[in-house]
């Protein structure tokens, strides 16, 4: 758990907010600022506060030290509905009332109806499972939000223009700032799962924001390595990795005034790229205006390159996630960076996480990082 949070900034919040029928919050972020496309209507669905989604519990694995969230209620979440029953389209476009009671919107952010982590939980208070010291347990307190990138059901991230990307970045920065200030949040993670191959349950263009009550395993490993690196060298590990990739040059995909994209030297996935700011920045909320402006251009360029990686594939299936610094302890060891990766090793062929990766965490990549970077440079326009 965290004991401190970053200081608030002057980030502009949503143009409009409203409560849904079950008490969850919906926020509209408009391209032009203010109350533009997001003009809410009353949510007339027959729901009450009693229907509001509640999170389950977390249990600690004594063999690895990892926390595992148990969310059995998510088994009943909406799964690949037809377009006219999409819960993320504006209400009125389909056959059923959606999660967004407006005729149109630019970007909408709402509390997840089936949360992995939430303010309201049904999990036990912090304690021990079966009174056994090996098994600490507690409520899955935190937040789980859905970020709708567009009201267009058929759109994809690469189809969005720079103006919309500005709004998406602003929305994610604002959600990062607000969620990081909550006392039960240790880290905020903004991400997008795209493509049936990844396992998405809704095809509408959207991402998610998870506010974890603990540091996830990847962050714990990064903190450990970053602390050891600082003790050895006095430097920031993520900043020094960026500098080393720039010096080597071979895996750099693009370099702008404020941002550099590169394929990490030990990339695990058949397609993987990282995007990092040149300045030491802990999270999206700490970006300056010129950094946010350039990010909208650079990220759009990068996603469109990924969509051209395989000529036979229109939209590359991927996971895109913003790694941000912890909100409290170890915050000085973190540094903002985007990781995008795909498990598509060639058209029609997936990299399955079989015995070595899934059971042992020992990775084998089917493509060299240098080849990935060369291809992403090749498909630039």
Q: What is the pLDDT along the chain (381 residues), one digit of tens a residue?
A: 333 444 334 466 788 999 999 999 999 999 986 545 667 889 999 999 999 999 999 999 999 999 999 999 999 899 999 999 999 999 988 768 899 999 999 999 999 999 999 999 999 999 999 999 999 999 999 999 999 999 999 999 999 999 999 999 999 999 999 999 999 999 999 999 999 999 999 999 999 999 999 999 999 999 999 999 999 999 999 999 999 999 999 999 999 999 999 999 999 999 999 999 999 999 999 999 999 999 999 999 999 999 999 999 999 999 999 999 999 999 999 999 999 999 999 999 999 999 999 999 999 999 999 999 999 999 998
| β-sheet with 127-128: strand ranges across | 67-70, 57-60, 136-139, 127-128
In a domain, 60, yes or no: yes
CA gap 226, 230 in Å, rounded: 6
State the pLDDT at residue 37.
60
- Amino acid 212: pLDDT: 98
Note whether 150 and 234 are same-domain residues.
no
Has residue 3 been placed in a domain?
no
The residues, any chain, with a CB within 8 Å of residue 220's CB and separated by 6 or more, are: 65
Question: Is the residue at 5 inside a domain?
Answer: no
CATH number for the domain that contains residue 328: 3.30.428.10
pLDDT at 95: 66
Element (H, E) at 50: none
114, 59: one domain: yes
Whether 290 and 169 map to the same domain: the answer is: no
**In contact, 141 and 74? CB cutoff 8 Å:** no
Using a 10 angstrom Cβ sphere, with 0-12 exposed, 13-18 middle and 19 or more buried, the burial of residue 299 is buried
Catalytic (active site) residue 206: yes
CA dihedral 248, 281, 144, 203 (to 10 degrees): -50
State the Cα–Cα distance between residues 74 and 87, nearest whole angstrom: 15
DSSP single-letter state for residue 38: -
pTM of the complete model: 0.94
* 202, 226: one domain: no
Residues 132, 234 within the same domain: no
In a domain, 303, yes or no: yes
Please say which residue of 214, 237, 272 terminates a domain.
Answer: 214
Same domain? For 126 and 23 the reply is yes
> Of the candidates 214, 244, 277, which is a domain's last residue?
214
> Which residue, of 192, 214, 236, is where some domain finishes?
214
Instruction: Tell me whether residue 361 is in a domain.
Output: yes
Range of the domain at 244: 218-378
Secondary structure class of 360 (helix, strand, coil)? helix
Active-site hit among 206, 274, 323, 330: 206
pLDDT given for residue 8 in this prediction: 38
Residue 11 lies in a domain: no
In a domain, 8, yes or no: no
Distance CA 121, CA 124 (A): 8
Residues 243 and 161 in one domain: no
The residues pairing with 207 across neighbouring beta strands, listed in sequence order, are: 147
Is 86 annotated as contributing to ligand binding? yes
Q: Are 242 and 335 in a shared domain? A: yes
225 lies in the same domain as 209 = no
Burial of 194 (0-12, 13-18, 19+ CB in 10 A): buried
Cβ(305)–Cβ(311) below 8 Å: no
How many domains does the chain fold into?
A: 2
H-helix or E-strand containing 92?
none
Dist CA 81 CA 338 (whole Å): 30
Q: What is the CA radius of gyration of the chain?
A: 21
274 is in an annotated binding site: no
CB 190 within 8 A of CB 179: no
Query: 100 and 245, same structural domain?
Result: no
d(CA 110, CA 25): 6
User: What's the rounded Cα separation, in Å, for the pair 302 and 122?
Assistant: 41
- Asked whether the beta carbons of 176 and 284 are under 8 A apart, the reply is yes
Q: Both 200 and 319 in a single domain?
A: no
Q: DSSP class of residue 356?
A: I
Q: Collapsing DSSP states into helix, strand and coil, what is residue 224?
A: helix
pLDDT for residue 94: 77
**Is 278 annotated as a binding-site member?**
no
Secondary structure element (H or E) that encloses residue 371, with its range: helix 369-378
Sequence-ordered strand ranges (E) for 43-184: 57-60, 67-70, 107-111, 127-128, 136-139, 143-148
Ligand-binding site membership of 190 (annotated): no
Residue 47 domain flag: yes
284 and 193, same structural domain?
no
């Amino acid at each position: 758990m965290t004991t401190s949070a970053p200081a608030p900034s002057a980030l502009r919040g949503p143009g409009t907010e409203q409560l849904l029928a079950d008490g969850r919050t919906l926020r509209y972020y408009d391209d032009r600022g203010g109350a533009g496309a997001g003009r809410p209507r009353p949510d007339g669905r027959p729901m009450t506060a009693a229907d509001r989604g509640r999170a389950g519990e977390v249990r600690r694995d004594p063999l690895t030290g990892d926390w595992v969230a148990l969310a059995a209620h998510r088994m009943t979440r909406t799964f690949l509905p037809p377009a006219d029953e999409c819960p993320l389209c504006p209400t009125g476009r389909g056959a059923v009332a959606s999660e967004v009671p407006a005729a149109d919107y630019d970007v909408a952010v709402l509390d997840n109806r089936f949360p992995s982590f939430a303010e309201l939980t049904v999990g036990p208070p912090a304690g021990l499972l079966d009174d056994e010291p090996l098994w600490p347990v507690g409520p899955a307190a935190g937040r789980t939000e859905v970020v709708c990138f567009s009201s267009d059901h058929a759109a994809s991230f690469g189809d969005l223009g720079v103006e919309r990307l500005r709004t998406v970045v602003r929305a994610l920065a604002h959600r990062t700032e607000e969620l990081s200030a909550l006392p039960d949040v240790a880290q905020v993670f903004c991400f997008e799962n795209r493509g049936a191959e990844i396992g998405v349950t809704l095809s509408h263009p959207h991402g998610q924001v998870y506010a974890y009550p603990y540091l996830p395993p990847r962050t714990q490993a990064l903190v450990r390595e970053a602390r050891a690196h600082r003790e050895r060298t006095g430097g920031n590990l993520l900043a020094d990795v960026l500098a080393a990739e720039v010096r080597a040059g071979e895996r750099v995909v693009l370099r702008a005034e404020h941002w550099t994209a590169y394929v990490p030297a030990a990339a695990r996935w058949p397609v993987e790229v990282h995007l990092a700011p040149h300045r030491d920045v802990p999270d999206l909320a700490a970006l300056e205006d010129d950094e946010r402006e350039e990010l909208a251009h650079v990220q759009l360029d990068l996603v469109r390159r990924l969509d051209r990686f395989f000529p036979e594939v229109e939209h590359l299936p991927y996971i895109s996630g913003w790694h941000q610094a912890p909100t409290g302890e170890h915050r000085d060891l973190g540094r903002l960076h985007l990781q995008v990766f795909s498990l598509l090793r060639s058209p029609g062929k997936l990299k399955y996480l079989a015995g070595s990766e899934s059971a042992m965490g020992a990775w084998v990549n089917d493509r060299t990082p240098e080849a990935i970077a060369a291809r992403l440079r090749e498909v630039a326009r």
